[in-house]
Structure 1
Amino acid sequence: MKRIITLVFIISFSCVKAQEPEQAKEVVIAFFNAFHQQDTLAMKELVYDSIKMQSIGLSKSGSVKLSTSSFDSFLKSIAGIPDTVNFEERILDYKVRVDVLMANVWTPYEFYINNEISHCGVNNFQMIWDDNTWKIFYIVDTRHQEGCK
């Protein structure tokens, strides 16, 4: 009986194929391509149903502030950027870690508005392997003006 249970356990885990780190990175690249094109429909296709978004920064008084926003609010703000405003989030690197059904993509960035640096920091994308693709279920970033280019 122990052998049967062990065999079932091994077979069930061998059916879950470890995903390639490059696949998770490609989702983040697609997310930023859609972001820069203000294509909110394409961005929605890349995220899990219950995505959470947070930012870490400093308040005006200098204390650490963790803020939460809805993905719908984020999409509305992206769609509402006027054509006269040129914005670009330059990703400086991709660090990807994968463990079968979960991936993490860490991306240091610089954010520019009308070719002037606005802020910099790091994005952290948490992903879940769902329906044969990576879906972003959590995004947290840091934002600061100090230490940018």
Structure 2
Amino acid sequence: MLRFILLVLLFLTQMVFGQGSTDEAAVKETIDEFFTGFHQQDSIQIKATVFNPVMQTIGKSKEGLTLVRTETFSNFLKSIVSIPEDKVYQEKLLGYEIKIDGDMAHAWTPYEFWLNDEFSHCGVNSFQLVRKDDDWKIIYIVDTRRREGCQ
């Protein structure tokens, strides 16, 4: 009987931990799809990864004061699709730290941004996601941007 109980506990433990890694992979996939759309200037693909997103950037003014800028999602999309073809840009994600609780996920992704093959800036993206209809959707993105202290 004790063996049966231990076997059941082992099985349940594997199910719980297996689900977590599956969810983490799905969260990462949503973020990767967002950036694929971003780099291809594909507003339809970007829209497929979000649900009424809030977008903010944290940076510094010329005087060194902390600024928080909020951008509408529609303006973000317009700015991405209007980048001229002669501008080559790439946001390189340097890693993923993903935390999940039920239908909420958080992903922390350090990055470097390159423009025309030259380093522009670095920072961190912080994504909040919600599981909606069995898919993970981005509901909030806040990033930092800086030129110093980059890897």
Pick the TM interval, shorter chain. Answer: 0.7 to 0.9
Partner of 2:102: 100
Query: Aligned pairs, how many?
Result: 132
What stretches of structure 1 move > 4 A for 4+ residues in a row?
none
Name which of 59, 62, 66 aligns with 1:60: 62
Other-structure match for 2:126: 124
Q: Take 1:21 and 1:148, find their aligned partners in 2: how far apart are those partners?
A: 26
Q: Output the TM-score relative to the length of structure 1.
A: 0.85
What's the offset of the Cα at 1:148? Answer: 2.4
Gaps of at least 5 residues in structure 2 are 1-18
Instruction: From 15, 32, 39, give the equivalent of 2:42.
Output: 39
Q: Which amino acid aligns with 1:35?
A: F
Q: Give the fraction of aligned pairs with identical amino acids, expressed as a percent.
A: 47
RMSD: 1.2
Residue 134 of structure 1, CA deviation: 0.4
Residues of 2 paired with 1:53 and 1:127: CA distance?
13
**Structure 2: how far apart are the matches of 1:130 and 1:20?**
13
- 1:89 aligned to which of 67, 71, 91: 91
Tell me how far 1:83 sits from its aligned partner. Answer: 0.4
Instruction: Name the structure 2 match of 1:9.
Output: none
TM-score (norm 2): 0.84
The residue number in structure 2 matching 1:80 is 82
Q: Which runs of 5+ in 1 are unaligned?
A: 1-16
- Give the aligned residue type for 1:40: S
Identify, as 1 or 2, the structure richer in helix.
2
- CA deviation vs aligned residue, 1:104-145 (integer Å, no higher than 9, x gap): 111000000001111100000100010110010000000001
Relative contact order: is structure 1 or structure 2 higher (C-alpha 8 Å, sep ≥ 6)?
A: 1
What does residue 27 of structure 1 align with? Answer: 30
How many angstroms apart in 2 are the aligned matches of 1:33 and 1:94?
Answer: 16
Which of 68, 71, 74 does residue 69 from structure 1 map onto? Answer: 71
